Structure 1
Amino acid sequence: MTDIVEAQWQELLAPQDKPHWLQESLTELVRAAYEQPRLRALYPWTGMWELHFSRCTEPRFTWDIPYAGPSRDGGYRVDGPSRSQHVGEAATAREAIAMVLGLLPPGCGSAFIGTAEELAAYERTQDTR
């Protein structure tokens, strides 16, 4: 794992000044994801009360991995990789993270230091070998 990936995880795991039920649920997702080595190797980011994972460390992040967020009923939902895809509902953060793990793309490894475009260019060079 790179220092930049670990630093992002630590930022997301840090206690929040103003707890909010959505923040507490999101933090549970972050903790559950951090326990999983395959997800811990990816770059985590949050937006719209969702936990996302990227195969690169800089924006524009990759959008090829499902993401999870708290649902209004107190459980969690898993969607993606695109916004139009709903994977399912989970009662706990660990169950939601298990759903994400089960849908990782083939060959998904440690986050690439750079943008999605740079990652794609790198992967093209790897395909020709």
Structure 2
Amino acid sequence: MQFMMFVVSDPAAEPYVPEQDNIAEWVADTTVGGTRITGDRLRPPSHAKTVRVRAGTTLVSDGPFAETKEWIAGFDLLDCASVEEAIAIAARHPMARFGSIELRPYWPLDVEEEPRRRKERETGA
């Protein structure tokens, strides 16, 4: 199973402690172990662009869409045997202590699938 792991900042959480929060160790361990496929940091929301298309016109605004103190600081793509394994890996990430980790399983898109069948599969109807 593949999971997208969003690494989220949280200003209200415990403070960052360099001696305790060694991201390089987590990256090395999960990469050598084969569960981390890729990942990286993201620049702060002040560097973001939000893109929308309305009535055929492309609209671009500075910053994120949501107004929040928390923001996605990075991501990792995991390949795990189960959701339990993904949770265990996420719990070892330093940001789980002074931020939060959001895990989302991949949901493959089959563009060749007939639309009615896709709707039945996605909604269970």
Higher fraction of strand: 2
Q: TM-score normalised to the size of structure 2?
A: 0.27
Larger-Rg structure: 2
Q: TM-score normalised to the size of structure 1?
A: 0.27
Give the structure, 1 or 2, with the largest relative contact order (CA under 8 Å, sep 6 or more). 2
Higher fraction of helix: 1
